[in-house]
A and B are shown apart, each in its own frame.
Chain A
């Protein structure tokens, strides 16, 4: 109860404060998005109660960081806490530290059936997610410290969206874990998250991609705030379903049968995550089209990203039809969802890397 009150209060305070103080930096659409997100956040907190705790923790971490920065990016150097814990780059590094730990714990839990390690896996994931979300929020704040006109939401390049991917996939998994008691799938879902973590680490250390860059003119739009997150809810959900599919297909090997949830539960989860992913991916593609109409003068130009988004969309549309209309179940759908991940991955990174087009913002 007190938690709910605190939760609602902090949402109202944060949103209210921004509405009063930052209106000059927002156009009417951004103000609209902010106002709309108040009821959505409140609803989401009740839909998934753990989110309240996540929100409050991130909120407190963010406030302390803002306090420590004192409005000057240079303070990062002298301040121990900022330098090693609370600056966005450190927070994201902590995320990349705890996700692998979580995977190891889940694996140990699955093999040895150690309840303690099961709890540890979940908690490590929670820590990683708290660190990651705080990292993104702090990064958002830091971008404004660099310069007011450089400031922007940190979902604008490959580095940032990979962090977002880890966070969304991780959160969705934790939601399912709690709701369907499917802890044993943790060691599978965490694989894909850790693949993304590996990419982030490589990208950071080999390519110094973690620096905050100002937005190119094409990306300066309120649309980014909804287009990109919707896409990544889609990607995250599709990845979870593919990892469950992997578990499903391996259920008869390596003595996994005893460990995994029943096939019925796994099929159900596969379906659920594809369904939610599909809805968000549909919305994201439509938002993308509307944005394209505004930025490039045409809502559909068969740009590689658009074409591949359509392919991904058709692929999962087919999957859903097979299951819902034809009543198909079992291995075929699992294989399909696993292969679907390859298609999705190509649409996600392959297009940026191998095909030129208007969407090649992330480079390697």
Chain B
């Protein structure tokens, strides 16, 4: 006994009976033994319960989990009764081997419904394919909508649904974190996408190659459009009504909804496609506004954005007219002549003629290929030491001409003088942009599709019960101490006492010390 960590010897006038009482008051149970000078006391049997609870918990959780797993289907699949469908078929064409009836015990299926659309079947995604799950009711989507915070970020995704079940109709609204249960099946808001929105567009050529034309388009459809010599196709995969941006205003970053954007693939007759994204509202930047439209060659790369200055009405028309003027031969020539008339240093006719020709060429080069074109001309034809000064004067000339050509726009206050430089940069930049016209969205009818998830999980309640057992079990195991005490009366007043526990740590030592102290204190009385 002496090898116990908590072993004490003490003297007492009490007899074993009285000492046992002290232990009983501490919550111990006394075990009778045959030896009259030995008392065994025990406490903390709940700890045993801890083991039972934890292990029971693991069994219950496993059973619950199995109930909700797809074991049944796996068996049916192995027996060849059911199989996964891999082809892309309509629900009605899927063979019965890949359909599961509404009595199916447990499932997690998804259903994408357009607004006003209804269905009584859902899809179960399986490895490499899918299964069709019959539902005990029919769901119709009345409406999908998004609520926003004042900052513009989405606050809530909601679907108004209509459920037909055994001849009764239920109107319900579901949203993320607020599902609805009917007949053992819980319906969740899990996803959404465009459901084929209708868009009314104006297509505007960035290079004034054709007059703006109107186009009615639909998301997911092939929307064709012809110019004189090409046939193009717009494909919209999505239409976003809202875009949340971090906008810099007065030095502070603010989150703002900047309105709709269109994303589309633009295909020419040879089938080659480029992808575009165009924000419909001008985006503020240092107290000016710009239209942003991006292009990318493939889905892996980032969009490269063209930044078009907005006119004073916050429209893109200003830029369109600017380009139209820029490309007008009549205006170019007229303004070059005016420039020559003002330039006193051009004394003779020959100098005038050559200046006129040079200026005209420079400007045409710019119109054809922007500043990069000018740079390569200079590199080719001007000696290195003069390149910089020449470049400067060319840029001045281009700017000067652009400004005078667009005098009217400035006079009519459609644009400011500061617009010219921005617009020239945009023009020069726009050569990467490719063939797509700039797309202006006039009107739209947003149609949503709502992604629902339908879950039947009869095992869930068992998993929860098991989880509760688990917590109780672990708690008992860690915090309930099983303590055994042996008290031996060695001689009349001399006792020995030993404590044992399956959790021997500092608290246990203190616990024993305290009890022994009590025995001694009582003794002194």
In the bound complex, what is the Cα–Cα distance between A246 and B471 (angstroms)?
Answer: 29
B149 x A149 contact (CB < 8 A):
yes
A221 on interface, CB distance cutoff 8 Å: yes
Q: Which of B173-212 contact A (CB under 8 A)?
A: 175-177, 179, 186, 188, 190
Residue A278 CB within 8 A of the other chain: yes
- Nearest CB of A to B376, in Å: 41
* Partner-B contacts on A (CB < 8 A): 147, 149-150, 180, 208, 211, 213-214, 216-218, 220-221, 264-265, 267-268, 271-272, 275, 278-279, 282-283, 286, 289-290, 293-300, 320, 324
**Nearest neighbor of B503 in chain A, beta-carbon distance:** A324
- A279-B478, A282-B470, A282-B474 as given contacts; A150 in contact with B150, CB under 8 Å: yes
- 6 residue pairs, one from A and one from B, having the closest CB atoms: A297-B188, A217-B176, A297-B453, A286-B467, A268-B505, A214-B149
A214 near B108 with CB under 8 A, answer no
A289 to B176, CA, bound (A): 16
User: Are the C-beta atoms of B153 and A279 separated by less than 8 Å?
Assistant: no
Give chain B residues whose Cβ lies under 8 Å from the Cβ of A294: 177, 179
Distance between Cα atoms of A324 and B177 in the complex (Å): 40
Contacts of A214 in B (CB 8 A): 149, 151, 153, 155
In the complex, A39→B485 CA distance in Å? 36
Contact pattern, B 445-457, Cβ under 8 Å of A = 1, otherwise 0: 0000000010101
Provide the bound-state CA to CA distance between A208 and B253, in Å.
11
Interface status of B384 (Cβ within 8 A of chain A): no
Q: Pick the contact of A286 from B155, B175, B471, B506 — CB < 8 Å? A: B471
In the assembled complex, which residues on chain A have CB atoms less than 8 Å from the CB atom of B464?
A: 290
* Contact between chains at B175 and A217 (CB < 8 Å): yes
In the complex, A286→B470 CA distance in Å?
Answer: 10
User: Does B227 touch A at the CB level, under 8 Å?
Assistant: no
In the bound assembly, the distance between CA atoms of A289 and B464 in angstroms comes to 9
- Please report the C-alpha to C-alpha distance between residue A275 and residue B474 in the assembled complex, in whole angstroms: 9
- A62 CA / B65 CA spacing, docked (Å): 46
Write the nearest CB–CB distance from A157 to chain B, whole angstroms.
13
B149–A150 contact, CB under 8 A? Answer: yes
Which of B157, B175, B176 has the most A CB atoms < 10 Å from its CB?
B176
Provide the bound-state CA to CA distance between A11 and B387, in Å: 79
Range, interface on chain B: 35 or more
Tell me, in angstroms, the Cα distance from A220 to B149 when the chains sit together: 13
* Residue contact B149 to A297, C-beta cutoff 8 Å: no
- Report whether B506 and A220 are in contact in the complex, using a CB–CB cutoff of 8 Å: no
7 A-B pairs (CB sep. < 8 Å): A149-B149, A150-B150, A214-B153, A217-B157, A272-B505, A299-B457, A324-B502
CB-defined contacts of A221 to chain B, threshold 8 Å:
177
Assembly CA distance A51 to B360 (angstroms): 83
Residue of chain A at shortest CB distance from B477: A324
CB of A234, distance to nearest CB on chain B (Å): 12
- Whole-angstrom CA separation of A264 from B5 in the bound complex: 13
Residues of A within 8 A of B460 (CB): 293, 299
Q: Say whether B474 contacts A278, CB under 8 Å.
A: yes
Q: What's the Cα separation between A298 and B155 when bound, in Å?
A: 22
The yes or no answer to B45 lying at the interface (CB within 8 A) is no
- Within 8 Å CB of B155, what residues of A? 149, 214, 217, 220
Least distance between B362 CB and chain A CB atoms (Å): 46
Q: How distant is the Cα of A150 from the Cα of B503 in the complex, in angstroms?
A: 49
B177/A295 in contact, CB under 8 A: yes
Cα–Cα, bound, A320→B474 (Å): 11
- Name, among A217, A220, A293, the residue most crowded by chain B CB atoms within 10 Å (CB to CB): A217
Residue B463 CB within 8 A of the other chain: yes
Contact A295 B463 (CB under 8 A): no
A216 to B148: give the CA distance in the assembly, Å.
10
**Known contacts A265-B506, A297-B455; A275/B478 CB under 8 A:** yes
Q: Which one of A149, A213, A290, A298 lies within 8 Å of B108 (CB-CB)?
A: A298
**Known interface pairs A279-B475, A286-B471; A297-B150 also in contact (CB < 8 Å):** no
Is A147 a contact of B503 with CB atoms below 8 Å?
no
Residue numbers in A under 8 Å from B503 (CB-CB):
324
CB B267 to nearest CB in A, in angstroms, measures 31
Provide the bound-state CA to CA distance between A272 and B475, in Å. 13
Which of chain B's residues has its CB closest to A290's CB?
A: B464
Alpha-carbon separation in the docked complex, A294 to B464 (Å): 13
Whole-angstrom distance between the Cβ of A74 and the nearest chain B Cβ: 12
Q: B154: CB under 8 A from chain A?
A: yes
B407 in the interface, Cβ–Cβ < 8 Å? no
Bound CA span A188–B502, Å: 30
Contacts A147-B150, A150-B150; A295 near B506 (Cβ below 8 A): no
Which residue, B177, B463, B479, B502, has most C-beta atoms of chain A within 10 A?
Answer: B177
CA distance A213 to B503 in the complex (A): 47
* A216 → B minimal CB distance (Å): 7
Q: Which residues of B contact A290 (CB under 8 A)?
A: 464
Tell me how far the C-beta of A88 lies from the nearest C-beta in chain B, rounded to whole angstroms.
Answer: 17
Interface string of B47-74 (1 = CB under 8 A from A): 0000000000000000001000000000
Cα of A169 to Cα of B56 in the assembled complex, Å: 33
CA distance A272 to B505 in the complex (A): 10
Beta-carbon contact of A268 and B179 below 8 Å:
no
| A297 contact set on B, CB distance < 8 A | 108, 179, 186, 188, 190, 453, 455
What is the CA–CA distance of A180 and B460 in the complex, to the nearest angstrom? 43
Q: A214-B155, A220-B156 are in contact. List 15 more A-B contacts (CB 8 A).
A: A147-B151, A150-B150, A217-B175, A218-B177, A220-B155, A220-B177, A271-B505, A275-B478, A275-B479, A282-B471, A286-B467, A289-B463, A290-B464, A296-B190, A297-B186
Q: Which chain B positions have C-beta within 8 A of A147?
A: 149-151
In the complex, chain B residues 497-525 whose Cβ is within 8 Å of any chain A Cβ: 502-503, 505-506
* Contact call A217/B506, Cβ cutoff below 8 A: no
A180-B506, A275-B478 known; A295+B455 contact, CB < 8 A: no
Q: Which residues of the other chain, A, contact B156 by a CB distance below 8 angstroms?
A: 217, 220
Distance (Å) between the CB of B113 and the closest chain A CB?
16
Residues of B within 8 A of A180 (CB): 506
The residue in chain A whose Cβ has the minimal distance to the Cβ of B149 is A214
Are B176 and A295 touching (Cβ within 8 A)? yes
Is the pair B474, A279 in contact by a Cβ cutoff of 8 Å?
A: yes
Residues of A within 8 A of B453 (CB): 296-297
Residue contact B505 to A299, C-beta cutoff 8 Å: no
CB closest residue in chain A, given B153: A214
Smallest CB gap from B475: residue in A:
A279
Q: When A217-B154, A278-B474, A279-B474 are in contact, do A289 and B186 touch as well, CB less than 8 Å? A: no
Q: Which residue of A lies closest to B505 (CB)?
A: A268
Complex CA–CA separation, A278 to B470 (angstroms): 12
Q: Measured between alpha carbons, how far is A211 from B108 in the docked complex, in Å?
A: 38
Q: Give min CB distance, B270 to chain A, whole Å.
A: 37
User: Which residues from chain A contact B253 at a C-beta distance below 8 Å?
Assistant: 208, 211
B176, A218: Cβ atoms closer than 8 Å: yes
